[in-house]
Structure 1
Amino acid sequence: MPRFPDHGEDRGAANGFSRSEDDRGSSRRGLNGRRDGNNDYDSFSDADYDRLMEYPDDVDYYSLLGLSRTPPPSDVDIRSAYRSLTLSFHPDKQPAHLREAAKQQFEKIREAYETLIDPKKRTVYDLLGAEGVRREWSAGGAMGKGGAAEQQQVGVKALGPEEFRRWFLDTMKARERKVLDSLVQSKGSISLGVDATSMISADEEEDYVYIQLPTLRPSSYAIGYSFRTPLPSFKELLGRVDEETENENEESENDNDPSKQAIQSEVTFSASVGGKLQNPMREAKFVYPDGTEEVKRVAMPLIMIAQNVSLGASINHGFRNVASTKGLFGKLPFSFLEGADASVTGLILPFPTVEAVVAKAISPFPGTKPLIFTFRTGFFRSIFQSLPVIGLQVTRELDAGRTIYCSWSSGSLNWPAFIQELLSPIVDLSVRLDDVLSRPTQMSKVEIGYISAPRKSTTAEEEEEDDEDDDDMPVTRKREVGAAESWQLQVDASPQGGGLSVVYGRNLFSHKGDEKLRSEWSTEGYHPISQDHAARPVRLEIQSTVGIDLSPGWHISGTRQVSDFTRMGLGVGVQGNKGLVMSVSWNRLGQKIRLPIAVCPLPLVSAEIAALAVILPWATYCGVEFGVIRPRERKRRRLALAKRQRQLEKQIAKRRAESQQAVDLMSEQVLRRQAREEENGGLVITKAEYGYYPPRDKKKNTGESKVIDVTIPVAALVDHGQLIIPREVVKFQIIGFYDPAPLRPKKLKIWYRFGGKEHLVEASDSEGITCPMRSHLI
């Protein structure tokens, strides 16, 4: 009978490692081999930090049963693995002193088996893990009491695995959409202009500029609010689609094709008011006790002058599956609307207005990028007074993130004279004099522009491919991705004038940009957004404009994300006749607050004052960023790393004890099976080690080896003369294993005898093992 060393026996002594060193090492060295201390924590890279914080705490059910995720194990494989483990861990098969430990191990095995043998639970487990299964089958979950499954007309229990997966993904997308709608369904904005121009004054005689403490006065305001809500569909007007019995056959195909899914029409209600804030002055006579009188100008209560008022609503609709619609709308020319998006906006205030917009992508040649045509028409006056304003915009994407566009607008046009004269006996088509000033005239204009947007952040499916090519990515490209540079160039011309505007933006103080919010659920699966622990960048934008008369204008702004959904910013620039304006902004999920502060009248604006207005806030922010924010962030990071390391060190001791219990429970059964293999000349595991082996390069101090004996657990995996450990199996979560060196690269070495000959095989955590093989002969 083969002899197996005790699981607690130290296998690292030959490599300069002892049990006492393992026990004491955590007090002197971190889990990654560095000595503990603030300087070492600061040297952690973002990748090390992410790996440490995301180190798995839960047991992987597939690894626990020794199964591979891909290809998915069959029910026969799951039952076979469960029966094999039951022989070793069932409490009824253990002596009294091991029965409690066997009960704990068996409960884990049974929970893993019940989850994986149930197709629905396995689907949810593959997406959300064990915690997701418990959550979705509890009260309020999708499969629990009061959940979405109880609200279905057709029982979810009757769905097959693929049908259930589609249903569950749709349910999760709907739940996510509901949460997002509750956050961003309404939008509001508040702007309060402040007049602080008294801060800077000039002495024209001595040519001096004086800076003094200003008197702050509110000068303008603007308030806006909008909310959107679903619009009921009108199938009676658009024609009915095929009967439900016919739709059921195509339902699965349409669910997987986003282009064929119906888009819910929405209506958005909006209202805004803005104008000036003034303190009117009035002369008042003051009578003093001595009988003297004095006339003074005094300020009256603040009044709000509403110069800009709007109230209206817009309806948005996407045309999908038009070809399958019966009736008039399923034929030309209405079928041409397939894939188009349309919106209709109506305003009641300040005067009745209706505008319609239709956008559709058309590929002029097969295999080429489409041109997006956007046609708009607006009725700003009665059709009996002037022609509608017509506009057309053509947009084409050159490549990823780079777009050119050209737009034209007709402006307000009167009816031609001959038509007015022709229809004069019937209707008067001339413009009424009382409407000339009450409604502004729309000027015709032409715009040509180029947009270079920042490189989009990768999705969860693309991250794996990007990781493989990350080493080959040029350094310049990596910098471009982190800087997120953007350009926008526009030239416009109209009868009133024209101009050139250039906008440039990029990220500062960080090699990673802010990741835009995206959906975590798709028709393919669940792709959670990874938490970014890098320093948050500052988004710098510089805008410059030049009019047709060469009059310049500029604006510099910087914004920074201060929390998950909140951004704050500061801007400086020249805004028309307001002079030099500094603006402070706050933005959270569509709610905006903006405070533009006029600090210098336009006649006094000079290069020196403008430079001072830019440099002072910038220097102040840099001092706060690198003197307060970054040190606090490093301290928070050090504390989080130290706390996480302490948790993992406690976890190692706990897992070591659980592993020893598992080995004690399975030893007798494994020894009998290995004895039978020995008698039949089969596969006999003579020794197995798992852990961290330092590289042979002595120039680098990579720490001592940390290796544990896993002979019994590996021998338990031998089945009918074969040992197969799939590549996807997390080795340190196999029953009887534990991780002796978290975050370090580990190897599994197996010495075995087959056919009377000795063999040796070793594999890293990312490699699988299949025994016996001739290539393993020693």
Structure 2
Amino acid sequence: MALTLAWIQDPLGRGIRLRLDRPTELQSGANGAPAEFLRSHLTLALEWVLSTGISRRKLDNQPRNNNLKKNPEASSMSEADQSSAAHAAARAFGFHAEGEDGLDGDSGIATEYPDQLDYYSLLGLSQKPAPTETEIRSAYRNLTLMFHPDKQPPHLRESAEQHFKRIQTAYDTLMDPKKRVVYDMFGEEGVQREWGRGGAMGRGGDAEKQQVGVKAMSPQEFRHWFTRTMKRRERKALQDLVNSHGSITLGLNAETTIRVDEDDDMTIHIPERVVPVSYAAKVSFDSPLSLPSFRSNVKADTIADEQKTDPDSEQDDEVSESPIQVTFQAGIAGNIVHRTQEAKAEFADGTEEDIKIPLPPVVVANNVNLGVNLKPNMTELIGTKGIWKNRYWSTLRESTVLVEANVLPLPLLRTTVARAFQPIPGIKPFQVTTKTTLMRSLLESPPSLEVHVTKEIAERKLAFCAWSSGTWYYPDFLLDNFFFRGMTVADMYAFSGDLSSLQVGLISLPKQPTQTISMDDDDADVEEESAARRPKNRVDSSAESWQTFIQVSPGGGGLSLMYSRNLFSGTPADDLAKSEWTEEGYSPVMNIEGPRAVRVELSTTVSPDLSFTWNIKGTRRVGEYTRMGLGIGLTHQGILMTVGWTRLGQSLNLPLVLCSKDEATHDAAILAGIFTWASYLAIEFGYIRPRDRKLRREEVARRHNQLKKLIPKKRAESEQAIQMMTDQVRRRQLKEHDQDGLVIDRAEYGYWPPTDRKPRRGLEEARVADVLYPVANLVERGQLVIRSSTVKHQIIGFHDPAPLLKKQLKIWYTFQGRSHYVEVGDKDGVLLPQRGHMCPESEQFNSLYL
């Protein structure tokens, strides 16, 4: 049995070759084991010792005196082979690397791992700033010369056809401005869907219904049209999910749950029965009201007028579904009366007993509501020409108008007009809202009036003032001299509760994520890179807000305070009401994984007699569209607990009275709140979150196993791609070397164990892929540019050797005869050459091309 150990320094920077010749005959070892067994184990052991015992730092500093012209065929054991040999040797000697077959990835990376092919990364281009047609053609021409199937040997022809097909598809998509718009929004699947049957650009899609041909549109016009089309599709999808809005409230009475005696001692009992005592139900649905004959002329006049005013502006030729949005609403509320009937029962022994027999409950309707809301689009209805162009009438055209009409319980007509005013140029505008309510004949009393004025006084701080007139009465001189007849005594008594009021307050809004658009592509890219590196803990996940106001009324008043924020930072508890479509394009709502936050709302009111009521409520998302809330507080009904569910505009509320108002105290309410909060924490942290963590780990483990099975296939594809690009890349690098330009000497991509801390078990070894030729192929005119948005493992010749692990790209290069070195993270960009990458004199190495 012959052992051959050779050191070969090849152009890729590796140099270990081990060969153990197979014996011609099987012989027994000293312990009776077959020689084949000893040979295999000795081979694995030596490979493991050599692959792990040589310091990578020494390999990094090895001089590179090879000349590609002299030894172009030099090769050695790959990094993946060394790693597999090391693991095989460890298993042969009884050592098991923990985590080898288990989960060694990161759940955060798993949620961001790309599932689709990135065309920009495939062609070696950047998405921001957008590549020009010349850059796309140049990248396409360069890659097709490398991977054309007719120019490859037979054993590489099948792989070349696959690469060539991908390159062709990427080129066709990015060269078509309209397809590129859709691809930037939705990716590869989006292009296939929108150009397929039923898509916006496919057969039977929106493009065929468009009066003005979509093919004649510029890229900007097409983006505008496509964005509006997607917004209409989104609205339709939302309407299909929520055809109506409704709520059901069922009041329950369990006064015997908490009892407070004369000494303020509190006892908790299990209630014998929970009795429904009240109910309320409301439903509303939207119905568009179209006026096609009137609206079309107004729309044409409006567009023509705006084009005359600003001929260069982009007009929104979207036709809204209706100029008037109609909302029908109905509701009913009342009490549930429980009746009993007294009876006398006679037993067999002749005794009699008075008993009460429960009768079916009676539902009493105290309030029945039926009405309709009209929200007209004033611009579409009245246009911008004629008298509406006058500055006085334009106030109505630029306002938001809402008309509400009720039939039950009393006839009512309410008109709301909202508009922003800026009396002094340069200051923040005032938002003024006026409401007029007509509940009686104008001969009896004038309509009531409400005025709300809101102004932003600081960032996310709003001051507001609201005044309501209540029920007005005509003065005596009008009643005596004009045709007004005034209100009767019965009317005055019926509407005595409608009093005037004044509110003054301050509102603090939560922080909202903002998107700034830079006119400079380079600045936009820098902002994108800095945002990607921004720590996650700087994101405002608390969404803290508060509101306080003082109310004064002839019937009383008080000071109210409301405060809310998210606890246990995680997925927000609020509904995902934000549209994914804006004027700038598509902004998908991220699917945030992790523990869900709890939205806590605290409200309290202090009356003039210093008595106060309070309520605290917590809301948590329990599903994609479902929220659940639990609250407790001290109200005028006593100690009240509320349980609620909300899903897609439908809600169910269950207020439960735990203690009567005669026995309720603040101490009892606080203890009830503490007990409720402790119970929730026990459920949340004892069951829900451990279960969610387990499910997330299992999902990441499944994802990791799927990606891990693809490593051999992806590695083989990358090796074949490297073989096809080697000759052309060598010629380009030799040209760079002759011009004293940028020469890539070595490049590696993958996972390296951390040096500042002890790595996790099973992650002590590096998992690296050699990417010398793929990186050198990206050198263009003496520069190497890889944007942060580029998915590095999807660059041709790359593959992911360590899925779901934090990877780096290390590059050794020579520029103007000096050695340079740089390493960047997987999400960072690369720009070479740079003076800061230059190695000290003691670490200079010879270039591959010397």
Unaligned runs of 5+ in 1: 29-33
Cα shift at 1:525? 1.9
Residue type of the alignment partner of 1:492: Q
What does residue 610 of structure 2 align with?
A: 550
Cα shift at 1:218? 1.0
1:732 and 2:798 aligned: no
Name the CA distance, whole Å, in 2 between partners of 1:107 and 1:710. Answer: 22
Name the CA distance, whole Å, in 2 between partners of 1:492 and 1:133. Answer: 57
Alignment of 1:110-121 (within 5 A): 110-121=168-179
1:536 and 2:592 aligned: no
What does residue 152 of structure 1 align with?
A: 210
1:446-467 deviation digits (Å, cap 9, x = unpaired): 1112222322245597999598
Residue type of the alignment partner of 2:561: V
Cα shift at 1:272? 0.6
Paired residues of 2:252 and 2:275 also in contact (CA < 8 A): yes
Name the CA distance, whole Å, in 2 between partners of 1:597 and 1:775. Answer: 69
What does residue 582 of structure 2 align with?
A: 522
Paired residues of 1:487 and 1:502 also in contact (CA < 8 A): yes
Name the CA distance, whole Å, in 1 between partners of 2:215 and 2:661. Answer: 72
What does residue 452 of structure 1 align with?
A: 508
Cα shift at 1:154? 2.0
Task: Please say which of residues 208-217 and 54-63 is displaced more in the overlay.
Answer: 208-217
- Check 1:243–1:465 CA distance in 2 against 1; reply closer, same or farther (3 A cut): closer
1:188 to 219, 223, 246: 246
Name the CA distance, whole Å, in 1 between partners of 2:774 and 2:657. Answer: 75
Paired residues of 1:684 and 1:715 also in contact (CA < 8 A): no
1:75 and 2:116 aligned: no
Residue type of the alignment partner of 1:213: P
Name the CA distance, whole Å, in 2 between partners of 1:40 and 1:240. Answer: 60
1:746 and 2:805 aligned: no
- TM-score, scaled relative to structure 1: 0.85
Alignment of 1:553-592 (within 5 A): 553-576=613-636, 578-592=637-651
Give secondary structure in 2 for the equivalent of 1:640. helix
Task: Please say which of residues 172-181 and 340-349 is displaced more in the overlay.
Answer: 172-181
- Check 1:157–1:213 CA distance in 2 against 1; reply closer, same or farther (3 A cut): same
Cα shift at 1:683? 6.4
Name the CA distance, whole Å, in 2 between partners of 1:684 and 1:467. Answer: 24
- Check 1:171–1:206 CA distance in 2 against 1; reply closer, same or farther (3 A cut): closer
Name the CA distance, whole Å, in 2 between partners of 1:348 and 1:774. Answer: 77
Cα shift at 1:355? 1.0
1:34-84 deviation digits (Å, cap 9, x = unpaired): 96499998xx9xxx5332321223332122222333443333332333232
Cα shift at 1:566? 1.3
1:443 and 2:499 aligned: yes
1:634 to 686, 693, 696: 693
Name the CA distance, whole Å, in 2 between partners of 1:341 and 1:443. Answer: 27
Cα shift at 1:225? 0.5
What does residue 713 of structure 1 align with?
A: 774
2:488 to 419, 432, 456: 432
Give secondary structure in 1 for the equivalent of 2:632. strand
1:277-303 deviation digits (Å, cap 9, x = unpaired): 012334456677889887654332211
What does residue 168 of structure 1 align with?
A: 226
Give secondary structure in 2 for the equivalent of 1:491. strand
Paired residues of 1:385 and 1:430 also in contact (CA < 8 A): yes
Task: Please say which of residues 248-257 and 406-415 is displaced more in the overlay.
Answer: 248-257
Residue type of the alignment partner of 1:447: Q
1:15 and 2:77 aligned: no
Cα shift at 1:615? 2.0
Cα shift at 1:385? 0.8
Paired residues of 2:478 and 2:484 also in contact (CA < 8 A): no
Task: Please say which of residues 168-177 and 549-558 is displaced more in the overlay.
Answer: 549-558
Paired residues of 2:753 and 2:764 also in contact (CA < 8 A): no
What does residue 337 of structure 1 align with?
A: 396
Residue type of the alignment partner of 1:306: A
Paired residues of 2:619 and 2:629 also in contact (CA < 8 A): yes
Residue type of the alignment partner of 1:124: V
1:298 to 357, 367, 378: 357
Q: Which has the higher contact order (CA 8 A, sep 6+)?
A: 1
Give secondary structure in 1 for the equivalent of 2:481. helix
Paired residues of 2:573 and 2:619 also in contact (CA < 8 A): no
- Check 1:205–1:739 CA distance in 2 against 1; reply closer, same or farther (3 A cut): closer
Paired residues of 2:445 and 2:486 also in contact (CA < 8 A): yes
- Check 1:9–1:147 CA distance in 2 against 1; reply closer, same or farther (3 A cut): farther
Cα shift at 1:653? 2.6
Residue type of the alignment partner of 1:79: R
- Check 1:580–1:330 CA distance in 2 against 1; reply closer, same or farther (3 A cut): same
- Check 1:69–1:553 CA distance in 2 against 1; reply closer, same or farther (3 A cut): closer
Paired residues of 1:380 and 1:388 also in contact (CA < 8 A): yes
What does residue 437 of structure 2 align with?
A: 378
Unaligned runs of 5+ in 2: 1-8, 18-50, 60-78, 91-96, 519-523, 845-850
1:99 and 2:140 aligned: no
- Check 1:413–1:685 CA distance in 2 against 1; reply closer, same or farther (3 A cut): closer
- Check 1:332–1:672 CA distance in 2 against 1; reply closer, same or farther (3 A cut): closer
Cα shift at 1:373? 1.3
What does residue 211 of structure 1 align with?
A: 269
Q: How many residues matched?
A: 754
Cα shift at 1:304? 0.7
Cα shift at 1:353? 0.7
2:457 to 384, 398, 404: 398
Name the CA distance, whole Å, in 2 between partners of 1:208 and 1:669. Answer: 87
Cα shift at 1:609? 2.5
What does residue 493 of structure 1 align with?
A: 552
- Check 1:226–1:685 CA distance in 2 against 1; reply closer, same or farther (3 A cut): same
Paired residues of 2:602 and 2:616 also in contact (CA < 8 A): yes
Residue type of the alignment partner of 2:598: V
Alignment of 1:58-69 (within 5 A): 58-69=116-127
Residue type of the alignment partner of 1:219: V
Name the CA distance, whole Å, in 2 between partners of 1:458 and 1:772. Answer: 33
Paired residues of 2:564 and 2:599 also in contact (CA < 8 A): yes
Name the CA distance, whole Å, in 1 between partners of 2:836 and 2:344. Answer: 113
- Check 1:496–1:731 CA distance in 2 against 1; reply closer, same or farther (3 A cut): closer
Name the CA distance, whole Å, in 2 between partners of 1:447 and 1:184. Answer: 35
Cα shift at 1:526? 1.6
